Amino acid sequence: MIKRILLSFLSGAALVLAFPPFGLGFLAWAAFIPLFFALEGAGKKRGFFLGFVFGSAFFLGTVYWVVHSMYYYGGVPFAAGVGVMLALVAYLSLYPAVFGLLISAKADTSPITRMILLPSVWVGLEYVRGYLFTGFPWVLLGYSQMNYLPVIQIADITGVWGVSFMIVLVNAALYLNVRSLLRGGSNPLKESLFALLMLTSTFGYGYLRIKQVDSDAARWRGLRVGIAQGSIDQSLKWDSSFRKETLEIYRELTLEAGRKEARLIVWPETAIPFFFEPDAVRDGEVGRILKESGSFVLTGSPSYNYNQAAGKLNYFNSAYLLSPAGEAVGRYDKMHLVPFGEYVPLKRFLPFIHKLTEGVGDFAEGPGAIPIKFEGGGIGTLICYESIFPEIARLSVRNGATVLANITNDAWFGYTSAPYQHFEMAVLRAVENRVYLLRAANTGISAVVDPVGRVRKKTALFERTDIIDDIRLRDGGLTFYTMRGDIFAYGCLALSGIFVIAGLGRLLKKPNLLCRLQNSSLQRTR
């Protein structure tokens, strides 16, 4: 059993290296092999435990930054922060634990069906994780491939889920071949050819789509943009004595972008460090910056309104499009809030935890993915954490967005891996919907991403600078993913559900899914 545990832990640790900041994405294509060996003949109970070990190793290595954020900015004692992080890791590890249980369950299906079932179960569980309890689709498997452009192009059909599917499929085929080499037996020819065909099709589609999208985008209308990264320390961000200096920093960056003829300049989330009041903004320092620059500015700012029916103030994390005259000509209110960042779930039971956002009570949700009208199209705004939810970007583009803008404040992540992970996940929103993505992050990473996922320009962490680039506004038909959404993930869920339901009636004397997979070639020769 110790050997099985070590193999499961090795798989989880290897998968950590496939994600930023390490960025060794190629490891993901083989990281599951030790886990599959550990699960071989393990049975359901052990399969669940070994999947949990794998998940614990992976999530400890990828979400450890929760301690940093809660300790330094949430007012949570270090020990309590570690406890919250471990609770989160334990919860997230339940998904690979269920994966281990299900693929160790009894199955009697054809070899190719089993090759499809393994990645379908994984994708189905990833999809559930992305939506259950408000969802936490952080470091989904497909995000490990952001550096490999041909691989991720299928996202305009399948979303990130299709990339995850391909990785698990290839892992399963490699596992069979490694097992055959180590332990003898017939070569898994049919399974290998199937995986090779799927992988070749993915790469072929990727190269074709890159060429097509580049050709289409060249005909879209151009727009010069600027992105201002103020790099305001989180401890000073809401300090009223530092407000003047904050605005002076954004003034310098904005005027520089204006001199380079940027038509639209994007500031980060809550770059305006006070509640948005239209008259005060127009007639104050922000208005003067806009008039001097002669540019439109998309900026984040906290806002509020009075809910007469409830008899209370509602607070929002908002984005405003400001004209060169200082007028607010568009607004978007964040619709998917960050647990513990913008509100505290179950606060009655967690009195020692305070949300990370300072100054006001819990934020309220905005009305939906409504683009801000601009230049005959629209800006689909994703505030912070919203960039990791594919549905929000998809609905924004379907509702008329011709460019996506992700404004965020990752200052409370510090120099951990979180800012790198957060950025990489945002990149895929451009590919899924075939639009340019502008990302303005207070302390980085800010960037311009094109519709095939190329990072045209980006900043370093905690760098005070701006980006100037010429982009193009999407024009033309919508992608399959934009129109139809997560159909691929639904299919994986359906297959997984059928597998589970069918398994409930099976007798116990059946080989498990992995054993059936590994022995399929041998059985065909008898």
Do residues 19 and 143 lie in contact, with contact meaning Cβ atoms separated by under 8 Å?
yes
Burial 128-158 (b: 16+ CB within 10 A, else e): bbbeeeebbbbbbbbbbbbbbbbbbbbbbbb
Instruction: In whole angstroms, give the CA distance from residue 495 to residue 97.
Output: 18
**DSSP label at 505?**
T
374 vs 404: CA distance, rounded Å: 12
Q: Do 407 and 267 meet the contact criterion of CB atoms below 8 Å apart? A: yes
Cα distances (angstroms) measured from residue 92 to each of 31, 49, 173: 18, 13, 26
Bond preceding residue 445 cis, omega within 30 of 0: yes
Residue 384 structure tokens: 């912070």
Instruction: Supply the residues annotated as catalytic.
Output: 269, 334, 384
Amino acid (1-letter code) at residue 362? D
Contact 36, 175 (CB under 8 A): yes
Q: Are 403 and 436 in contact (CB under 8 A)?
A: yes
**What's the rounded Cα separation, in Å, for the pair 177 and 194?**
13
Identify whether the C-beta of residue 127 lies closer than 8 Å to the C-beta of residue 493: yes
Phi then psi for 223, rounded to 5 degrees? -155, 130
460 near 223, Cβ under 8 Å? no
Greatest Cα pair distance in the chain: 85
Q: Residue 509: is it exposed, middle or buried by C-beta count within 10 angstroms (0-12/13-18/19+)?
A: exposed
SS (H, E, C) 137-190: CCCCHHHHHCCCHHHHCCHHHHCHHHHHHHHHHHHHHHHHHHHHHHHCCCCCHH
